[in-house]
């Protein structure tokens, strides 16, 4: 006659005993590393200009990373594409800077309280980079 089979001890089952703290520790470590990488984006991408960083922070949600305005928030807005030659208040640097500073009623907030003149000039310079990138791609 054979002895009855006993179920394995609880500590040896997957997800129990000593393996759970090890998995949790690995998850915590991964989250800490990911947070450190995201916090150090400037160190990871040092080639980004001040204008690009400002654009990504303040403009890309509506105008998209490529500046073409193909986002849910800007869909159907005739002036959302910043890479073409269609500008509501003029396409020279001063007019674009004024549009950034003052905004467009009901469509775009003004940034006069958020950005200083030097930052607005850096943003205008980056918009010119986006325009040239589109022209080069065509």
Separation in Å, CA 106 to CA 9, 34, 58, 61, 74? 66, 37, 16, 16, 12
Q: pLDDT (tens digit, 9 = 90+) per residue, 51-91?
A: 999 999 999 999 999 999 989 988 888 888 998 888 888 88
Q: pLDDT (tens digit, 9 = 90+) per residue, 3-34?
A: 666 666 655 555 555 555 666 666 665 655 55
What pLDDT sits at residue 44? 61
**Domains of the chain from N-terminus onward:** 48-137 (1.10.760.10)
CA distance 81 to 131: 10
DSSP helix/strand/coil, 108: strand
Which runs of consecutive H residues, i.e. helices, occur in 10-116?
Answer: 19-39, 41-44, 50-58, 60-63, 93-102
Q: pLDDT (tens digit, 9 = 90+) per residue, 115-134?
A: 999 999 999 999 999 988 65
């Amino acid at each position: 006659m054979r002895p009855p089979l006993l179920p394995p001890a609880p500590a040896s089952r997957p997800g129990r005993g000593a393996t759970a703290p090890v998995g949790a520790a690995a998850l915590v470590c991964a989250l800490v590393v990911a947070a450190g990488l995201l916090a150090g984006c400037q160190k990871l991408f040092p080639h980004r200009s001040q204008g690009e960083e400002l654009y990504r922070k303040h403009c890309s949600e509506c105008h998209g990373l490529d500046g073409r305005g193909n986002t849910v928030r800007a869909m159907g807005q005739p002036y959302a594409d910043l890479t073409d030659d269609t500008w509501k208040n003029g396409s020279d640097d001063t007019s674009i800077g004024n549009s950034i500073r003052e905004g467009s009623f009901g469509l775009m907030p003004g940034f006069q309280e958020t950005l200083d003149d030097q930052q607005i000039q850096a943003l205008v310079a980056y918009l010119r980079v986006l325009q040239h990138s589109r022209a080069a791609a065509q």
